Structure 1
Amino acid sequence: MKALISKAASALVTVGFTVAVSLTAQAATSDEAIAARIAPVGKVCLQGDASCGTASAASSGGTRSGADVVAAACNACHGTGVLGAPKNGSGDWAARADKGIDTLLKNAINGINAMPPRGTCADCSDDEIKAAIEHMISL
């Protein structure tokens, strides 16, 4: 009888230990899964913030050409003349070009009339905006 009680007690201790280990592993896995599900997808970076890494142009392989910037950002308004934007490939750019590239660049960077600062290309460098302006003037 003592042997039977000893075996039963040993079995209960083994089962209890196995259940405790299993629950602990499940809880850790569950916490890890929850942490992965609620982890941030990204973070907001302000220009000049060194903790954010390199600028997007640098991470995409370097400076984008004027044609690339125009195609990606400028054509939304300048392709159709939205809200008085000078249309690409029209005579709308002639009078503006006479003001000089420095004036056009300043207006594009700071915004003018209905155009917001940097148009729709908030991540464009000044050089990329300048290249886009030069490209639109040449169309």
Structure 2
Amino acid sequence: MSDAHTEHQSLIRTPKQLVIAVTGFFLVIVIGIILLVSFVTTSPVTGAGTDGQNAEAITARMRPVAEEGFTLVDANAPRVLLAGAAVYTATCAACHDSGMAGAPKTGDNGAWGARFAQGYDTLLKHAIEGIRAMPAKGGNPDLDDVEVARAVVFMSNKSGASFKEPEAPAPAEAAPADAASTDAAPADTAGPAGAQ
């Protein structure tokens, strides 16, 4: 038997047919791309992102970030001291809720018993100055000593103590200074008047 009957014959037999086939292939691809682009650009787009150029959307994007949930605080205003629970939640809970780095867990009466035996003043001193792995003021230097004391009382009372929460110190009164200046003013005016 001869192998002539099993040969595969190509549709392209001459170079001219090859050029026509390649050109036709590229022509079909180019026409397909043109039709796809015209379909995408002429059909109306609906859904997310269609209102991106509206005046409201542009205004929302240009609005300052400071308006998103930030509260401006007057630096010259009198400071409002936080309650013990707020200080505990913001600063102390990270370590004292989990017992991280050897911190006694809040609510664990056994772990706090030896500390209560040292007294409130020692607990407060350790909280303000720091001890072992605990940094001073729990790592928040912006806390006032009264805020730290309130957090110590809150944590201690949750763990079996019965400490009284410290009161905020009385604000420095300007009345004594004003009284001294008013007392001095009449004496000064009387001196020159008596001299005439």
Q: TM-score, normalised by structure 1?
A: 0.56
Alpha-carbon distance in structure 1 between the residues aligned to 2:97 and 2:140: 15
1:1-139 equivalences under 5 Å are: 53-54=75-76, 58=79, 62-91=80-109, 92-139=111-158
CA RMSD of superposed structures (Å): 2.0
- What count of residue pairs does the alignment treat as equivalent? 84
Q: Deviations over 1:60-89 (max 9, x none)?
A: xx1100011001100000110111001001
Q: Kindly, what percent of the aligned residue pairs are identical?
A: 45
Unaligned runs of 5+ in 2: 1-74, 159-196
* Structure with larger RCO (C-alpha < 8 A, sep 6+): 1
Shift of 1:95: 1.4
CA distance in 2, matches of 1:129, 1:75: 13
Counterpart CA distance in 1 for 2:146 and 2:76 is 16
Rounded to whole Å, the distance in 2 between the matches of 1:115 and 1:54 is 31
Segments of structure 1 that go 5 or more residues without pairing to the other structure are 1-52
How far apart, in 2, do the equivalents of 1:126 and 1:54 lie?
20
Instruction: State the 1:96 CA deviation.
Output: 0.6
Q: Deviation per CA, 1:21-66: give whole Å up to 9, x if none.
A: xxxxxxxxxxxxxxxxxxxxxxxxxxxxxxxx558x81xxx11000
Residue 46 of structure 1 corresponds to none
Whichever residue aligns with residue 99 of structure 1, its letter is: Q
How far apart are the structure 1 equivalents of 2:87 and 2:102? Answer: 20
- Whether the aligned pair in 2 keeps the contact of 1:94 and 1:137 (CA below 8 Å) is no
2: CA distance between counterparts of 1:114 and 1:81? 12
| Aligned-pair CA distance for 1:100 | 1.1
Q: TM-score, normalised by structure 2?
A: 0.40
| 1:114/1:65 CA distance change after superposition, 3 Å | same
Q: Which aligned segments of 4 or more residues in structure 1 are displaced greater than 6 angstroms? A: none
